[in-house]
Amino acid sequence: MAYQTINPATGELIRTYADITDHHLEVVLTNAHQAFEREWRHWPVAERAGIVSTAAQILRRKSKQYADILTWEMGKLLNEAYAEVHLAADIFDYYARVAGNYLKPRALPESQGAELHIEPIGVLLAIEPWNFPYYQIARVAAPQLMVGNTLLLKHAENVPQSALAFARLFEEAGAPAGVYTNIFANIPQIGRIIQDYRVRGITITGSEHAGAAVAELAGRNLKKSVLEMGGSDPLVVLEDAPMESALDSALFGRMFNMGQCCVGSKRIIVVGKKRAKIFLDGFIQRMALLKPGDPQNPETTLGPLASEKTLKVLLDQIALAEKGGALVAFGGKRIDRPGF
């Protein structure tokens, strides 16, 4: 499994990382388990909050450094990259702020003398995708670290720099060794991690195929799992929808993060043939105004897709749709420029 940084705007291979060795993986598992049992779970919530909130401060202070990684590793437009950095910081701040109250024991009125206590369970494995390299980590790491669990992070193969950036982030924030660990693991190693007695839960955001494989192995080993799979979300434009607002929303819904978004508008349904024609004309006009270029240039509004594989899949989908009778109203071909 090749962990590589390839600049999507140029197609240039920047760096390749080797998979973790089996010996080093055993060391990582041991360290994460020991960090949980001997240290992290016993820290007061306020001290764990100090680490998480410090991570948020570092993200904001070094926002350009973190945003730049997103632009040249997966092609995210610069303004969207900054937005993701600050969103991750906001998530850290939120959980650092509210976890103390949330984790307090609560009396159960229906059972006199009984209390609800929330306790950590141990080492968790997170398998995260490339489309939002920081957000996808933050939404898992913040609550799990605050409750006292330790985390192993297996990121997508095309965003190793982003993965390493967050590992450095928690180290700089003062997290003890083993609390948060990035691993460049291959598929057989992931299987062994899921089956390891020290790992108590798994979460994955990815394809249905990957989710099914993780669910099967987690279920067979009685491990807790959270599976977030893809979606195919419709945008419905009703008869009374203001047309200009609907068009602006549709453009954002389809093109945010270059359309590489699980909650993006995958298809648009317009009620009424006359309004459909007006909508299509307006949508084409807005698409035609998008300006392709370097994602690090603030004036660029059409960045590259994250990888050549993603581009090929899209072109194959267009060809398949045309074969099935679809009409390409605008575009539909690879732009003649470097990158994806």
**Neighbour-count burial for 180-194, b at 16+ CB within 10 Å, e otherwise:** bbbbbbeeebbeebb
Q: Which of 37, 39, 228, 308 is catalytic?
A: 228
Dist CA 260 CA 253 (whole Å): 10
Running DSSP on this structure, what letter comes out for residue 333?
A: S
Which of 197, 169, 218, 188 minimizes the C-alpha distance to 51? Answer: 169
**Does the active-site annotation cover 84?**
no
Strands 123-127, 150-154: pairing is parallel
Q: Which one of the listed residues 84, 128, 157, 262 is annotated catalytic?
A: 262
Annotated catalytic, 228?
yes
Closest CA to 193 of 16, 24, 40: 24
Compute the half-sphere exposure of residue 41: CA atoms within 13 Å on the CB side of its CA: 16
64 half-sphere exposure, CB direction, 13 A CA radius? 1
Find the DSSP H helices in 103-203: 135-147, 160-173, 187-195
- Which residues have a catalytic role annotated? 228, 262
